[in-house]
Amino acid sequence: MAKIVAASAVVALSTACSAPVPGLVKAGGVERVSVDGTAYAAELRAFRDSALGLGQALLADGGDGSGGNVVFSPGSLLIALAMLRAGASGESAAELDSVVGFPEKRDEAMNALLASLAKFDGDPGTVDEDNPPRQPVMHAANGLFVDKDVPTGEAFLGTLARHYGTGVYPVDFSDEGATKPAIDAWVDSNTGGRIRQVPAKYDPRNTFSLLNALYFAAAWQTPFDPSDTSDMPFTTGGGEEIDVPAMHNRLEMKYAAGTGWRAVDLPYAEGFVMRLVLPEAIDSDALFRAPQLREIADAMDTAPLETVQIQLPRWDHKCSFDLRPVLEAAGLHKTLTTTEDFNAIQPRMTITQAAQAANITVAEKGTVAAAVTQINGMVTGAPPRPEHTIDFDRPFHYQIVHAETGLPLFMGTVADPRS
């Protein structure tokens, strides 16, 4: 592997039924850069617009949601794609910039974004999900699992350490019995057990697996009174009128309206809001396109606080996506087929799988949600695994030999490499 130095200790992320995650390996001598988020306001706005565009693509795909219910994380997908972009070159780099909308200083801006989220970081495993915390927990984690026998690019490792605060976990992908439980343990730990396994089917031929996990838990600023929850009519996407438990509250929140929509920002106790957008048309499928989502976001930026009586159903949904068709439909064709543009990550790496799993629970006290995005790759035309290994970790003999004649030009013994 390229010049990398093992971190101080094995990361103790494990569950009772899962193998421990292997030790994290980082670029040697590279520290995370501290950035001023105010210097990247334009880039952060570009990230917002990019996430809304990815959101439109995921909404249109729908994943495996049932009855028209869909939940996903455009933020998690954006972070994962930004890390992939950090190791991209050539046509794939240009394509990612064009399709996703990455700004020029994307790594520095992503550093600022992750640092801003880190203000609310906490251990998902300590959250009482029946009583979401008033101090929100917003845990973001990046995990890159690489085959221990395939070199990882030094520049890529440096970018991960400098702007993403992470490194890689060396594993043996051919050993599914050890590696799959270890990766699943990472997912389980970083989502508080809400997602137990990675979303993509395990493939022992892979040599690279990039993961982003997001976990969110927060109480409402003003909780809904459970005694005010009652069955109320709800018209489904299929036009059927049903009765569902609906929560009720009256409070001040941001409110705005535009052509074909009305929206509110329902506040959590600190730092976050749930943006709720209601189409004017009763028969609408609520699949807003990216330009309208940006219009709504801009309107809510300047919306005044108004007193609103709100009726909101409880919901508990989960969904998973095969992201390859989503990304292909968005225009990432070269990115998903190249065997040359990710050499900075691994030589002749190509993307093999991309997937996401997400879930959310919304009730009277607050919200808990989790998502995992996974992008896998493999080295194409890789040499076969070595039949033997040899570690020169004790005194050894050496020669410098003229290949044509076999003449030993130099010869010696190394008993202590230090002197």
Kindly report the CATH number assigned to the domain that includes residue 265.
2.30.39.10
Position 327 in a domain? yes
Is residue 410 one of the residues assigned to a domain? Answer: no
Bridge partners, 267 (sequence order):
273
pLDDT at 306: 92
- Indicate if 359 and 348 belong to the same structural domain: yes
- The Cα 334–Cα 51 span in angstroms is 21
The number of domains in the chain is 2
Flag whether pLDDT at 16 surpasses 80. Answer: no
Regarding whether 158 and 38 lie in a shared domain, the answer is yes
Do 309 and 345 lie in one domain? The reply is: no
Q: Which domain covers residue 259, as residue numbers?
A: 230-313
Count CB atoms within 10 A of the CB of residue 408.
Answer: 11
- Candidates 123, 366, 399, 143; CA nearest to 266 is 366
Same domain, 331 and 303: no
Is 74 inside any structural domain? yes
User: Is the pTM of the predicted complex or chain greater than 0.75?
Assistant: yes
- Residue 395 within any structural domain of the chain: no
d(CA 199, CA 177): 17
Distance CA 353, CA 398 (A): 45
Q: Residue 22's pLDDT is what?
A: 78
User: Which residue among 379, 398, 414 closes a domain?
Assistant: 379
- What average pLDDT does the segment 13-19 reach? 44
Please indicate, yes or no, if residue 320 is contained in any of the structural domains: yes
Contacts of 47 (CB under 8 A, 6+ apart): 78, 103, 109, 110, 113
In percent, the amount of the chain with pLDDT more than 70 equals 86
Please state the rounded mean pLDDT for residues 74-97.
97
Angle, CA 32 vertex, CA 31 and CA 37 arms, to 5°: 150
Q: What is the pLDDT of residues 288-319, one digit of tens each?
A: 889 999 999 999 999 999 999 999 999 989 99
Q: Of 272, 294, 313, which residue is a domain's last?
A: 313
Q: Give domain status of residue 402, yes or no.
A: no
How far is residue 66's CA from residue 24's CA, in Å, rounded to a whole number?
38
Are residue 276 and residue 343 in the same domain, yes or no? no
What does the pLDDT average to over 158-174?
Answer: 94
Looking at the fold, whether 244 and 102 belong to one and the same domain comes out as no
Helix axes 90-100, 74-85, angle to 10 degrees: 150
Q: Label residues 235-272 b or e (16+ Cβ within 10 Å = b).
A: eeeeeeeeeeebbbbebebbbbeeeebebbbbbbbeeb
Residue 286 has pLDDT above 90, yes or no: no
Per the CB < 8 A criterion, the answer to whether 229 and 310 are in contact is no
Both 305 and 336 in one domain: the answer is no
Instruction: For the chain, give the mean pLDDT.
Output: 87
Which runs of consecutive H residues, i.e. helices, occur in 212-362? Answer: 290-301, 323-330, 333-337
User: How big is the chain by its Cα radius of gyration, in Å?
Assistant: 25
CA atoms of 225 and 416, how far apart (whole Å) = 73
Indicate whether 121 and 45 sit together in one domain: yes
Beta 137-147 vs 169-171: how paired, if at all? Answer: parallel
In this structure, is residue 288 part of a structural domain?
yes
The larger pLDDT score, comparing residue 400 to residue 170, is at: 170
Give residue-wise pLDDT tens across range 174-190. Answer: 999 999 999 999 999 99
CA dihedral 345, 335, 372, 208 (to 10 degrees): -30
325 in the same domain as 305: no
The answer as to whether 391 is a domain residue is: no
Instruction: State which of 313, 340, 367 marks the end of a domain.
Output: 313
pLDDT band at 13 (very low <50, low <70, confident <90, very high): very low
Residue 240's pLDDT is 83
**pLDDT for residue 159 is more than 90:** yes
- CB contact set of 229 (below 8 Å; sequence gap of 6+): 245, 246, 247, 248, 314, 364
Residues 352 and 371 in one domain: yes
Can you tell me the mean pLDDT for 279-296? 84
Question: For residues 214 and 201, what is the distance between their CA atoms, to the nearest angstrom?
Answer: 20
Q: How would residue 6 be classed by pLDDT, with cut points 50, 70 and 90?
A: very low
Task: Say if residue 5's pLDDT is above 60.
Answer: no
Q: What is the pLDDT of residues 322-337, one digit of tens each?
A: 999 999 999 999 999 9
Does residue 349 share a domain with residue 266? no
Decide if pLDDT at 106 tops 70: yes
Over residues 263-281, the mean pLDDT reads 90
331 and 210 co-located in one domain: yes
